[in-house]
Structure 1
Amino acid sequence: MCVFILLSFTLACFLDVSTSLDAGFETVGEHGKLSVDGVDLVDQVGEKVQLKGMSLFWDVWMPQYYNKDSVNGIHDLCRSNVVRAAVTVNSDWDGGYMQTPSSSLQRLYAVVDAAIADDIYVIIDWHDHDADQHLSHSIEFFDTVSKKYSGVPNIIYETYNEPTEKDWSSVLKPYHETIIKTIRKNDPDNIIILGTPTWSQAVDQAAADPITGQKNIMYSLHFYAGTHKQWLRDTAQGALNKGLPLFVTEYGTVNADGNDPVDEAESRLWWNWLDENNISYVNWAISDKAEGASALKPNTNAGQVCRNEALTQSGKLVVAQNTK
């Protein structure tokens, strides 16, 4: 009997270790409020934590996934502990927050509330390439959402999705400092992720002139495996070595234009490097658009999100990685 109990206990411990690598189990209930310690994302007891999950597509073009059914699938079947809501800021032909703020907020709140209900983290992404030119709208948006969700441990703010080739020190850094101040008036502690130059690739520029006097801020790194290879990992490693905390709020297994082929070998090199450095990563995208970056096949509805039969080649590869 004692031997059986011992063996059972050993087996249970083994199973706990194996499932702990599955991001679907590493939820808010497990880790609580996050913070930044050096270059690491850590949980409420100071232990390193890694988020792995999925980004929704621009909300004005894929609104059908901004709901509870979709978030359920992202957590339960895509084995994610984080979802990213990509709030379109400005689109001349299809709208966005600047044109229809109430509709944008309605879609965002549906995702955030679903993530809270599912016990996962959620990135509120200001999905813009020119946010510094829309400063008044940025301030208004982040003031609104940080008041609504102040202190909720699930919340992560992303202040500027992918700045184009803008200067870090003279343009982007002052923008981020303004938005950080806006958020911190309402939410003093939650993680804030800052976009970096050249579509969130030039993290070396931010590392050379980081924002000081703030806590719990990180810097975004984006890559697409078919285009961005060892040279970008070298750039990112240099930023890490200088003490810059990184978060991959968007990556793809394909080319930077979103098209095939899936580069599995390069994706695995990226994942290995990210895991070795405890860097969190979020895949682009929960989308049924007919392109290689989409995780879903065309005509997938919200209730089918992340079902195996609905996943593309890229989607299947990403889901498998989320469980490792």
Structure 2
Amino acid sequence: MNIWKSLLAVCLLTAMFGCGAGTSKKANQEGTAKQLPRLCVTGTQLVNEQGDTVVLKGVSYGWHQFWPRFYNASTVAYLSEDWGAEVLRASMGVDLDSACYVYKPEFGIKCVTTVVDAAIENNVYAIIDWHSHNLRQEEAKEFFAQMAARYKGVPNVIYEVFNEPVEDSWEQVKAYSVEIIKTIRAIEPEAVILVGCPHWDQDIHLAADDPITGYNNIMYTVHFYANTHGQWLRDRTDYALSKGLPIFISECAGMEASGDGAVNKEEWQNWLDWMQQRSISWVAWSVSDKNETCSMLLPSASSDGNWADQDMKEWGRIVRNELKRQ
């Protein structure tokens, strides 16, 4: 369509100052939600249409196949209105368990689109997260083509093409990511795309030394768990920033990388201060009720939100309080 060609040209020509406004359309066709600013990447920063730096803070849902009960419009409304989440991450489990995407794709798509549609309705951003630790290029291309077609032109939507590579080299992850970016860009020319890096999203220095070229509005993800990942990972990420790599913390928490153990409040605060100083967006893990520290909720928590203090674990209360301080 000519309008999209025009909007892409505007975004490219004005990258120093922001991005084109674009025209939003609602997936649920009700037409009642306000339009959020379209986001672009300028240098290492996420910016709005006026070129102002944008820092998004929010929460990630847990793997959809294990906690589908929270993937509904009511929790989205509650997290955005009561907690103050500005971005919600729909973590579609790709290849673990019999209910994962590769075995039940319709179920995965239903969970993800329910959260994304509700995020649009509630005027917050949504990350569509291909939550996998393995390369599955053909399945990912098919999925993201569907998502890009469904949400083309909707400024709320951010695409995360590979949650956490583990054993794959950066060369492999880069080649995969380029193929998925091509797939999305053939349909959606402007949306922000998040790219993972090896070793559970900690080897960001490898991406910094050999970044993806030829595409705009690309950011790279770093994941941290504060009681495992300390100053060394902040230093490594500072190196990436110094090389001009835009960073988005699409998953983080305050305990050990296992998701368990005590919350290291001092180190969590060090990370908060570091992210604030560098205007880096972050998403905390996770809206789920597993018997582990990083799951924010207890089994007593309602499937629909409106959680009392006694329904939340310490980590859930910490994240909620931090988001409400905005």
For residues 63-82 of structure 1, the aligned pairs below 5 Å read: 63-82=68-87
CA distance in 1: counterparts of 2:238 and 2:209, whole angstroms: 13
Instruction: Give the match for residue 119 of structure 2.
Output: 115
CA distance in 2: counterparts of 1:306 and 1:267, whole angstroms: 23
Counterparts in 2 of 1:111 and 1:319: CA distance versus 1, 3 Å: same
For residues 65-144 of structure 1, the aligned pairs below 5 Å read: 65-91=70-96, 93-130=97-134, 132=135, 134-144=136-146
Q: CA deviation at 1:309?
A: 3.8
Residues 1:273 and 2:258 are matched in the alignment:
no
Structure having the larger proportion of residues in helix: 1
Instruction: Give the match for residue 163 of structure 1.
Output: 165
CA distance in 2: counterparts of 1:236 and 1:299, whole angstroms: 38
Q: Matched residue of 1:302: which SS? A: coil
CA distance in 1: counterparts of 2:296 and 2:49, whole angstroms: 32
CA distance in 2: counterparts of 1:222 and 1:306, whole angstroms: 27
Instruction: Give the match for residue 55 of structure 1.
Output: 60
Instruction: Give the match for residue 152 of structure 2.
Output: 150
Counterparts in 2 of 1:76 and 1:209: CA distance versus 1, 3 Å: same
Q: Matched residue of 2:83: which SS? A: coil
Q: CA deviation at 1:116?
A: 0.5
Instruction: Give the match for residue 44 of structure 2.
Output: 39
Counterparts in 2 of 1:179 and 1:306: CA distance versus 1, 3 Å: farther
CA distance in 2: counterparts of 1:181 and 1:314, whole angstroms: 38
Q: Matched residue of 1:186: which SS? A: coil
Letter paired with 1:80: A
Letter paired with 2:194: I
Q: After the TM superposition, which segments of 4 or more aligned residues of structure 1 sit over 2 Å from their partners?
A: 28-31, 302-311
TM-score, structure 2 normalization: 0.87
CA distance in 1: counterparts of 2:287 and 2:154, whole angstroms: 24
Instruction: Give the match for residue 222 of structure 1.
Output: 223
CA distance in 2: counterparts of 1:160 and 1:177, whole angstroms: 11
Equivalent residues of 1:31, 1:43 under 8 A apart: no
Q: Matched residue of 2:137: which SS? A: helix
Letter paired with 1:317: I
Q: Deviations over 1:167-226 (max 9, x none)?
A: 112x01110000000000110000000011101111000000000111000000000001
CA distance in 2: counterparts of 1:111 and 1:155, whole angstroms: 11
Greater gyration radius = 1
The sequence identity of aligned pairs, in percent, is 39
Instruction: Give the match for residue 258 of structure 1.
Output: 259
CA distance in 1: counterparts of 2:63 and 2:155, whole angstroms: 24
Q: CA deviation at 1:318?
A: 1.2
Structure 1: gaps (5+ residues): 1-27
Equivalent residues of 2:220, 2:245 under 8 A apart: yes
Q: CA deviation at 1:95?
A: 2.3
How many residues end up aligned between the 2 structures?
Answer: 293
Q: CA deviation at 1:295?
A: 1.3
Q: Deviations over 1:56-88 (max 9, x none)?
A: 000000000110111112112221010000011
Letter paired with 1:44: E
Structure 2: gaps (5+ residues): 1-32
Instruction: Give the match for residue 6 of structure 2.
Output: none
Equivalent residues of 1:129, 1:161 under 8 A apart: yes
Instruction: Give the match for residue 176 of structure 1.
Output: 177
Q: Deviations over 1:216-247 (max 9, x none)?
A: 00000000001000000000011001100000
Counterparts in 2 of 1:148 and 1:232: CA distance versus 1, 3 Å: same
CA distance in 2: counterparts of 1:279 and 1:305, whole angstroms: 29
Letter paired with 2:231: Q
CA distance in 1: counterparts of 2:35 and 2:102, whole angstroms: 37
Counterparts in 2 of 1:201 and 1:186: CA distance versus 1, 3 Å: same
Instruction: Give the match for residue 283 of structure 2.
Output: 282
Q: Matched residue of 1:77: which SS? A: helix
TM-score, structure 1 normalization: 0.88
